[in-house]
Structure 1
Amino acid sequence: MDDWIEVIREKDSAHARTVTTALKALKGDPRCVSDEQLESLLRFVATGPVSKACAAVACLKSFADAGRLTVDQVGECARETLFRPEKSLVNSMIAFLGQVLRKDPGCTEVLVPLLADAFGHTSVDVQEKALALAEKHADRLDAAARQSFAAAAEQLIPALRARAWAVFGDDGHSSPSVGPEESYEVPLPPAPAPVHVAPPVDSAAGAVEELAVVLRARTPDPVRGERVWDALVRCAHRDRAGFAAALGPLLKSCGWVPSDTGDGLAKGGKPLLAAVALMDSVGPGRPGGGVTDEVIAANDNLLTDAHIRWTGRGKPCGHTVFDQVLHARWNEVIRRLRDHVTTPLLLATPTWTNGAISPTDLVERLAAYHRLQAQPGRADLEQALLRVRHDTDADRAAAAAEALGTPEALRLAGWLRRGGLTLPETVRTPLEAQEPDNAIDPSDSQPWRLRTAVPAFTDRLDGFSKPFQDLAGPYLADRDHCGIWNSEGAWPHMMPLWLMVLPRHREIVAARTLTAYAEGAETPRRSAAVHLPALAESEGVVGTAVRLALVYGLGANRAGERVAASDAFLALAASGDLGEEQLGRDVADLVTGRNLKVTRLTESLSMAAQGGAHHAVAVVLASALSGLLTTGATAPASLAKLLTVAAECAERSRRPLPPVDGLAELAARPGSGLVVKSARRLRDAVTQAAPA
C-alpha cells in the first residue's frame, strides 16, 4: 500500500493507467490502508495535481462507506479543497460531501457550512452546485450558519444571490432584488502608459557595458539596442581614440582579432561590425580593408539567408520590408563611423519604450547637428519621422523646426503640419482552402483562412528612400510562410525590432506579419502571439489586422501565447481601442471556418474577464453569438461554452449589450440541456441590463 500511495503522489508518473490501477487497489479493500496512509491520501486530495486529485476524491467514498473517515477528517479535507480554483476538483468534492451527508445527516452542522467557501469560486457551475446542496440541508442549520451563508451570498452571481437570500435571509445585507444598475465586476486595469527611455549613455565605460549585453544576448531588447547604437556614435564623436581603446578588450572577448577580414567579419552581427568599423577608423589600415562595403553587403546577405525564405508564389514574406529598413539604418551608422562622418547622436533613438519619439526631442537633436554644421543620415532622419508623435507639442515643435531653418528641420516641420503618415484601411480578405505546393509534405496544405490586404500608399512617403517606400507597398498575407516562422530562434529575435520600425502604425506591422500570429491557432507550431502585448502598447489605429492577430492569439495552441493574448485584450480594452463588436464578428467567422478551437478561445476570454474585462468580453461574445446562432453551424458543446462565458460576464458587468440575434428563440426551447440553460441565463442577464 505504501508503494501504491507513492505512485499516486509521484509527480512524474504521468501514466493515467498506472494511477488508476493504484486507486483501484486502494478502493478494493479499504481496511488494508493504515491510518497514516489514509491521512497521506487526504492531504494529496487538497494539494495534488487536479486530475489525480479528482480520482482520489472518488476513491474516498469507499473509505467513507467502510467507516474509515471521521467527520473531522472529511471536513478538513473539504475545507482545503473547496478553495482550489479547479472547477472539476471542487465539483467532485461537493458531490462527495453530498454522498456523506446522505449517509449520515447528523454531520450537517459540521460539513454544510463549509459549502459557503465555494460561493466565491469563479465558476458559476460550482456556485450553483454548492448552493443547491446547502439549500437541501438548510432546515437543519442553526442561526449562525444561516448568517454565514447570507454573508457569503454576496459573492454569488445576482440570480443565485437572490435565491440564497430567499433561503437563508438577507441578514441586513443589500436587497435580494438585484437591479440593472448594480455592478460587481472587477475594474479594468489602467491602460499601459508609455515609459520614458533611460537617458543617453555618455561614458565610454557605460557604452562598452551596454554593448557587451547586446552582443551576448540571445533575444535582443530593441530599446537597449537603440541606446547602444546611439551610445556608439556619441562616444565616438566625443573621443574616438579613447573609445576605441575601451572597446578592444570586449571585442577580443567576443572572438574578434585585428586580422579578421572578409568572411570572418561578415559573419558578425551589426553591432559588432559597427564597433570594428570604429576600431578601423583609428588604427592602421589592414590588408583586407576591414569593414568594407563588400563586407557589409555580405553581412546583409547572411542575415537575409538566415531569416528570409522566398515563398513558392514568387514574393518575399511580409516582414522583409522591415528587415530592409533595419539594415539600411545599421549600415548607415557603420559607414559613418568608419568614414569619420560627424555624428553627435542619432535622431531616431526612441523617447518612450514603445518606440515613439517626442517632437520636441527631435527638434533639439536637429539643433545639435545645426550647431556642428553637420548633416544627419538620411535613413536616421526618415526613421525618426516615422516614429515622431503628433501630440499637443507637435505645433510648437513644427514652429521651432521652421525657425531652425535647416533642410532636415523644414522637412520635419512639413511632416508635422501634414499630420505625418496617414494609412489606408486594411481589407479583410477570406482565403479559400489550398492544396500543398509540395506533394511530399501534405502538412503544407492551408485551410480556409482570414487574412488582410494592404493597399499601396507609396505616394504618402514621397521623398523617402527606397527601403522606407517599400513599407508602403501593397501586400496580401496569403501564403507567406518562410523559414523564419518554422525556426525556434529566428522570429522571436526579430518581431520586437519590426514593431520598432513603425511604432505608431501597428496596423501595418500586424497586416504584414499576420501569418505569424495565425500560426498558433491554425497549426501546432509556435506563433508571434507572445508579442501581442507589445503590439497593443504600440500606437496607431487598431484595424482589421490587429483584431485578427488578437483573435488568433486568443485561440493559440500554447498556454503562454493565450496568456499574452489575454493581456493584450485587457490593454486594448482599457485604452478604448478594442472594437468589441467587430472583434466578435471576426470570432464568429473564424469559429465557423474551424480556424479556432472554442475551448482555447473561451479559456482566454475567461482570463481577460477575470482581469477586469467582463463587459468587453460580454460584448465580444454577444456579437459573435449573433453570427453563430443565425448560421446554426456551431457544435452544441462549443456553443454551450460560448454561452456560459457570455452569461457569466453579462451577469457581472450588468451593462447594456448589443442584441443577440437568435438568443430568444434558443432560450425558449424546451429542455434543460446546458445550451438551453446557458441561453436562458444570457437572455435574463441581457434583459436585466437593458436600459429602461
Structure 2
Amino acid sequence: MSDVTEEILVKSLLAAVREGRFEAVPGLLKELGHGARKTALAELKSLRTEVRGWGWERWGEQLPIQRALRVAGAGCHTGAAAAAAWIGGRDFSDWGRATTSQVLEVLVDRDTAWLADVAQRLAERPTVAENEYGLVRGLVDRSGCAAPTTDGYLVGWTAAMTGRRLVEDLRADPHTPVLVPRILDMIETPNQLTWAVGPEAPTHWPTALATLTAEGVLDRASLVDGCVARLLRGGRPRDLRFPLTLLQLLDPTPEERRGRTADWIGMAADAPSPVAAYAQEVLAGLAAEGELSTPELAEMSAQVLFRTEKKLVRAQLTLLTRELRKDSGAAAELLPVVADAFGHEDTGIQERALKLVGRYLPKVDGQVREELAGAAAALSPAHRQAAEELFGASELAEDLPYEETLPPVPERRRVAGPAATVAELVADLVTVSKGRSKAPSEEFERVLDGLVRHAHLHREELTAALTEAFADAWWASDEGYGRDAFARGTYGVDVVTAAVMGRVRQSRLQNARVRGHAPSPCVHGALDSVLDARLWETAALIGTDRLPFLLATPTWHTGAIEPSVLVERLRAYRDAGIDPAPTDFAQALLRVRKSDPSADEAAADASALGTRAGERLADWLTADASLAPGLRIRTRGQETKGGTGSLAERIVLKIRERRAVRDEFPPAFRWLGGTEVQAENRCHRWFAEREHWAAVVPDDREALAAWLLPVLVGGVEWDERGVTWGLTALAEADGPVGGATHLALALALGCRHAEDRLTAVDALLVLAARGDLDLGKLGASLAGLVEEGTVKPNRLADAARTAAATGAYGTTGAVLAPLLPALLAAEKPVRGLGELLAVAADCVERSGSCGEIPGLDAVADRRGSSQLVVQAGRLRRALRAGSEGHAPEAGQDMTQPAEIDQ
C-alpha cells in the first residue's frame, strides 16, 4: 500500500470519527496496516482531548464522536494495557452498549492471550465490568479464558442472567458453577438477588440455585459452606437475605447441621434477627435430637439472652425449659445463664426467668444458689417480693437509697489562638479547605482569623506558600479563573484563600459585598447568607489596613465571645484608627456572651472607648432583647395551600422587630430584626453550611432551637438520618430554655433512627444536669406530638428506656408523666403505649414517685394479658406503693405536669 493511499484511508477514518459514524469504523480499520493505525492513533488522542473540553451544550454532537473514538482507538492500540485503558475510559462510558459489537469486531484478529488480558483488565474496572458486561463477556468467550470473578463482573453477570428463563440460562452457562460460589464472597449482594419476589417467581435466584443444586449442576457442599460463611461475616440485612434464603431452601442435612454447631451459635449471638432466629431454630433441632451438649446450650443461651429482641429471648427460655425438663441435673450449669435474663428490659421476661430458676433451684448447691441470689439484684423492683420469697430476704443484696445519675455539666473550652507561623496556617488551611462545611466551626474560625492576620503582616510569604499548596485547586488554574470560579458562591474558606492569591475577580468581590441580600423564605438559606456575607467581606478586605484581624473570632468552642475580649479588640481598632468591617462587627455582636458575669463591666468599658462601635457594643450588652423567634404551630388543615399537613408546613417562626438590627446591621443580618420565616424541611439547604449555623447566635439557645426544628421534623416525618447533629450545640449553648428548645428535643426523641434518638437522649440529660430543662414542659410537648401522630410511641419508648437506663429514672419519669393521660384516654388503643407504660413503671419503681395518673385505672382493670394491660397494672401498683427513697431533684411529681407556653 502506497503512502498516499494510506494517508487517504487515515483521513477517511478520522472523517468518519468526526462525523460520529461509529458503525463504519470497523470496515475502515480493516484497510489500515500497523503504521497507518499508529498514525491514526495520534490524531485520535488529539481529537479525544478536544472533545473532552466541550461544554454540555454540545452533548448531542459529542456523544456519537466519543462512540466512534472508542471503537477506532480500540482497533489502533497494540498493547493490551493501553487498549483496556482506552476502551474503559470514563468519557467513553457506553451506557447504551451501542458500541459493543463494533469494539469486538475491531479486535477479532487479536490472539487469545491478548484478548484475555484486555478482558481481565476491563473486569477489574467496576463501572465497566458492571455496566458493559456484554463487552467483557464477549472478550472472555472469544479468548476462551476463565471467567473473571471481580465484583463488577459478577454484578453485570447477575443482571444479564436475571429474567424469566433464569434457571435455563444458568444451566446453559458454563461459568455458572464458578461464579455462583463467588457471589457468596461479595460484601454487597447484587440487587437482582435481593428482589422481594416469592420462590415461585421465575426470577427468584435462591429457588433457581436450589433447583440446579438438586440437578447436580452446582456443588452442594460449596454452596452450604458459602452460605454459612457469608452469614457469619454479617452485614446489612439486605445483603444477608439471599444467602439465608438459599440456605433454607438447601435445607441442610443432619450431618451438615451437626458439623457446624459453633457457626450456628455465632449467628445466634451476633447476626441480624432473621439470621439469628434461623440459627436458633437449627440449634433447637439439634438439642431435640440430643446433638447439643449442655456446655454448648449454655454458651448459646449466654449470648441470646443478652439480645434485645424479645421473641428470640422468649424462644431461648422455652428451649432452656424443655432441656431442663429432660435433664434437671443440668440446672447447676444452665440456671446461672437463665439468670442473665434478670436484667432484660422486659419485666415479663424477667418474671419468666425468675420462675424457671425457682422451679429448679432445689437442684443446685449453695454456691450456685448464692450466685443466683446475687444476680437477682438486676431484677425490676416489681419482682423484689417474689425474689425474697424464693431466696429469702437475707440472701438478697440490700436495697440502697435511690440516687439520680446525670452526666457532668460540660465545661466551655477556649478556642486556640491563630497559627503562629505561615507554615502552620497553610497546613491547617488545607485540612479545613478539604472538609469545607464539615470542618468544625472553631477550626474554621481559627483558620479564617489566621489568614487575615498573616495576610496583614506577611502577605508575600503567605501568598507564596498558598500558591504552592493550592497549585492543583480547581479554582487556581487559569481555566478556573477565566470562567469566574466563584460566580456561584464562596465555597467556604476557599474564596478568602483565592483572594490572597489574586485568583478572584475584583468586580466579583465588590459586587458580592455591595449587592443587597434578598430575604430567604427558608431560615437555612438566611443562615447561609450570613456566612457568605462574612466570607465575601473578608475576601475583599484581606491584606489591607482595614482588616488587621477579625473581631468575630470566637473565644469559646460554642462560638461565643467573651465580652472583655471584644472590648479589647475594639480598643485595638480605635488605637489604629480603623473602623470595624460592618459584617465582621455584626457577627461579633451576635456572638458576645450577654450572660457572662463580666458583661456589665464590659459594657461600661465599651462605652468609655468613645467610638460608635463601643457605644453599639455597650447598648447590645445591656439590651434585654433575645433574637429567639416567636413559635407558632398551625393546627392541621391550616397548612399552606397544597400542603400535606406536615408539621414543618405548620411551624411559623415570627421574628420580633428589633430596630437596632434592622437599622444598623448589614443586609444579610436584617432578617433577624423582624420577619416571618416558614420552617420548611424540604428546602434542601439543611445540609449546606450547617456546621456553622450554631455559631451565628451562640448566646441565644432558643434561636438555634427554632432553626433546627425543620431539620428535626425531617427525621420524624420523613425518616431522614443524621438530623440531630445540632443538639450537642443546643445543649451547650447559652440563653434561657423555652418552647422552641423543648419542641426540638421532643422531636429528636421521636426520630426514626436510633443513633439520632441517642444524640437526643444525650442532649436531654445534659440540659437536665445544667438545670435548664422544664421536664413537665418537655412532656407536654411530647404529648401533643404523640396525640397528633407525629411522634410514634414505640420510638419515644426506646429513647426513654435509654435515658432511664443511664440512671436518670426520675428525670425520665417526669418527662413521661404529662403525655400518659391523653394516650390512656384514646378511643382506640395506641400502638406502643404498653412500651411507654413499661418504661414509666420502671422509673416509678426505681426512683420512688407516687400519686395517680388519670385514665390508668380504666386500662389496668381491663381483662386480658396484653402488654398494655399488664404494664398499666404494674404502673398503678408502683404508683400506689411509692418508695422509701426520695425523688431526685432533677425530677418532679409525676402527677403535676407543667403547662406549655403557647
Q: Same fold (TM over 0.5)?
A: yes
SS in 1 for 2:725: helix
Residue identity matched to 2:586:
E
Of residues 855, 858, 864, the one that matches 1:662 is: 855
Of residues 746, 754, 760, the one that matches 1:559 is: 754
Q: Which digits, 9 at most, give the CA deviation of each residue in 1:559-587, with x for residues without a partner?
A: 33223222222222222223221222222
Residue identity matched to 1:363:
V
SS in 2 for 1:637: coil
Determine the C-alpha separation between the residues in 2 that align with 1:418 and 1:652.
Answer: 46
Indicate how the Cα distance of structure 1 residues 511 and 7 shifts in structure 2: closer, same or farther if over 3 A, else same.
same
State the 1:387 CA deviation. Answer: 1.0
Indicate how the Cα distance of structure 1 residues 112 and 515 shifts in structure 2: closer, same or farther if over 3 A, else same.
same
- Using CA pairs below 8 Å that are at least 6 residues apart, which structure has the higher relative contact order? 1
Determine the C-alpha separation between the residues in 2 that align with 1:348 and 1:212.
Answer: 22
Aligned pairs for 1:605-644 within 5 A: 605-630=800-825, 632-633=826-827, 635-644=829-838
Task: Note the residue ranges of structure 2 that are not aligned, 5 or more in a row.
Answer: 1-219, 888-902
Asked if 1:228 corresponds to 2:447, the answer is yes
Aligned pairs for 1:444-455 within 5 A: 445-447=644-646, 451-455=651-655
Determine the C-alpha separation between the residues in 1 that align with 2:609 and 2:304.
Answer: 70
1:19 aligned partner:
244
Q: Which digits, 9 at most, give the CA deviation of each residue in 1:370-402, with x for residues without a partner?
A: 232222112222211111113112223223323
Asked if 1:149 corresponds to 2:353, the answer is no
Aligned pairs for 1:19-98 within 5 A: 19=244, 22=247, 30=254, 32-33=255-256, 35-98=258-321
Indicate how the Cα distance of structure 1 residues 371 and 54 shifts in structure 2: closer, same or farther if over 3 A, else same.
same
Determine the C-alpha separation between the residues in 2 that align with 1:537 and 1:212.
Answer: 29
2:415 aligned partner:
197
Residue identity matched to 1:60:
L
Q: Which digits, 9 at most, give the CA deviation of each residue in 1:596-626, with x for residues without a partner?
A: 2222222222222233432222111111112
SS in 1 for 2:790: coil
Determine the C-alpha separation between the residues in 2 that align with 1:633 and 1:464.
Answer: 56
Q: Is the 8 A contact 2:629 2:653 kept in 1?
A: no
Indicate how the Cα distance of structure 1 residues 657 and 575 shifts in structure 2: closer, same or farther if over 3 A, else same.
farther
Q: Is the 8 A contact 1:261 1:289 kept in 2?
A: no
2:484 aligned partner:
263
1:331 aligned partner:
536
Indicate how the Cα distance of structure 1 residues 432 and 84 shifts in structure 2: closer, same or farther if over 3 A, else same.
closer
Q: Is the 8 A contact 2:374 2:397 kept in 1?
A: no
Q: Which digits, 9 at most, give the CA deviation of each residue in 1:65-92, with x for residues without a partner?
A: 2222222322232234334455443332
1:182 aligned partner:
401
Determine the C-alpha separation between the residues in 2 that align with 1:479 and 1:174.
Answer: 54
Q: Is the 8 A contact 2:546 2:581 kept in 1?
A: no
Q: Which digits, 9 at most, give the CA deviation of each residue in 1:424-469, with x for residues without a partner?
A: 673341342479967xxxxx73346663532423236364324323
Aligned pairs for 1:577-616 within 5 A: 577-616=772-811
Indicate how the Cα distance of structure 1 residues 451 and 633 shifts in structure 2: closer, same or farther if over 3 A, else same.
farther
Determine the C-alpha separation between the residues in 2 that align with 1:448 and 1:243.
Answer: 50
State the 1:688 CA deviation. Answer: 3.6
State the 1:262 CA deviation. Answer: 6.3
1:468 aligned partner:
669
SS in 2 for 1:264: coil
1:104 aligned partner:
327
Residue identity matched to 2:858:
E
2:545 aligned partner:
341
1:487 aligned partner:
none
1:488 aligned partner:
none
**Which stretch of structure 1 is more off in the superposition, 224-233 or 115-124?**
115-124
1:246 aligned partner:
465
Determine the C-alpha separation between the residues in 1 that align with 2:719 and 2:284.
Answer: 40
Determine the C-alpha separation between the residues in 2 that align with 1:4 and 1:261.
Answer: 62
- Percent identity of the aligned residues? 34
1:208 aligned partner:
426
State the 1:413 CA deviation. Answer: 2.3
State the 1:297 CA deviation. Answer: 7.4
Q: Is the 8 A contact 1:626 1:660 kept in 2?
A: yes
2:636 aligned partner:
432
Determine the C-alpha separation between the residues in 2 that align with 1:509 and 1:498.
Answer: 8
Q: Is the 8 A contact 1:622 1:657 kept in 2?
A: no
Of residues 873, 878, 883, the one that matches 1:685 is: 878
Residue identity matched to 1:76:
E
Q: Is the 8 A contact 2:851 2:880 kept in 1?
A: no
Determine the C-alpha separation between the residues in 2 that align with 1:633 and 1:430.
Answer: 24
Q: Is the 8 A contact 1:499 1:509 kept in 2?
A: yes
SS in 1 for 2:295: helix
1:362 aligned partner:
566
Residue identity matched to 1:385:
L
Determine the C-alpha separation between the residues in 2 that align with 1:290 and 1:106.
Answer: 89
Indicate how the Cα distance of structure 1 residues 223 and 552 shifts in structure 2: closer, same or farther if over 3 A, else same.
same
Q: Is the 8 A contact 2:787 2:822 kept in 1?
A: no
Determine the C-alpha separation between the residues in 2 that align with 1:342 and 1:626.
Answer: 63
Q: Is the 8 A contact 2:554 2:561 kept in 1?
A: yes
Q: Which digits, 9 at most, give the CA deviation of each residue in 1:539-560, with x for residues without a partner?
A: 2222222222222222222333
Determine the C-alpha separation between the residues in 2 that align with 1:289 and 1:463.
Answer: 28
Indicate how the Cα distance of structure 1 residues 6 and 38 shifts in structure 2: closer, same or farther if over 3 A, else same.
farther
Aligned pairs for 1:205-604 within 5 A: 205-218=423-436, 219-255=438-474, 256-257=476-477, 260-261=481-482, 263-267=484-488, 269-280=491-502, 289=506, 291-294=508-511, 316-337=521-542, 340-390=544-594, 391-419=596-624, 421-423=625-627, 426-433=630-637, 445-447=644-646, 451-459=651-659, 461=661, 463-465=663-665, 466-475=667-676, 477=678, 479=680, 481-484=682-685, 491-526=686-721, 528-604=723-799
TM-score normalised by the chain length of structure 2: 0.67
SS in 1 for 2:552: coil
State the 1:155 CA deviation. Answer: 1.6
State the 1:250 CA deviation. Answer: 2.8
Q: Is the 8 A contact 1:424 1:457 kept in 2?
A: no
State the 1:534 CA deviation. Answer: 2.3
Q: Is the 8 A contact 1:321 1:467 kept in 2?
A: yes
Q: Is the 8 A contact 1:517 1:527 kept in 2?
A: no
Determine the C-alpha separation between the residues in 2 that align with 1:242 and 1:476.
Answer: 46
Q: Which of the two has higher C-alpha Rg?
A: 2
Determine the C-alpha separation between the residues in 2 that align with 1:374 and 1:297.
Answer: 20
Q: Is the 8 A contact 2:630 2:655 kept in 1?
A: yes
SS in 1 for 2:495: helix
Residue identity matched to 2:645:
Q
Q: Is the 8 A contact 1:477 1:511 kept in 2?
A: no
Indicate how the Cα distance of structure 1 residues 674 and 210 shifts in structure 2: closer, same or farther if over 3 A, else same.
same
Determine the C-alpha separation between the residues in 2 that align with 1:136 and 1:5.
Answer: 41
Determine the C-alpha separation between the residues in 1 that align with 2:246 and 2:508.
Answer: 68
Indicate how the Cα distance of structure 1 residues 136 and 425 shifts in structure 2: closer, same or farther if over 3 A, else same.
farther
Determine the C-alpha separation between the residues in 2 that align with 1:670 and 1:524.
Answer: 36
Q: Is the 8 A contact 1:322 1:498 kept in 2?
A: yes
Asked if 1:132 corresponds to 2:355, the answer is yes
Determine the C-alpha separation between the residues in 2 that align with 1:244 and 1:330.
Answer: 18
2:385 aligned partner:
162
Q: Which digits, 9 at most, give the CA deviation of each residue in 1:641-665, with x for residues without a partner?
A: 21112222332333x3675221233
Q: Is the 8 A contact 2:749 2:761 kept in 1?
A: yes
SS in 2 for 1:200: coil
State the 1:214 CA deviation. Answer: 2.2
Residue identity matched to 1:497:
H
**Which stretch of structure 1 is more off in the superposition, 264-273 or 94-103?**
264-273
Determine the C-alpha separation between the residues in 1 that align with 2:614 and 2:768.
Answer: 37
SS in 2 for 1:427: strand
Determine the C-alpha separation between the residues in 2 that align with 1:635 and 1:8.
Answer: 42
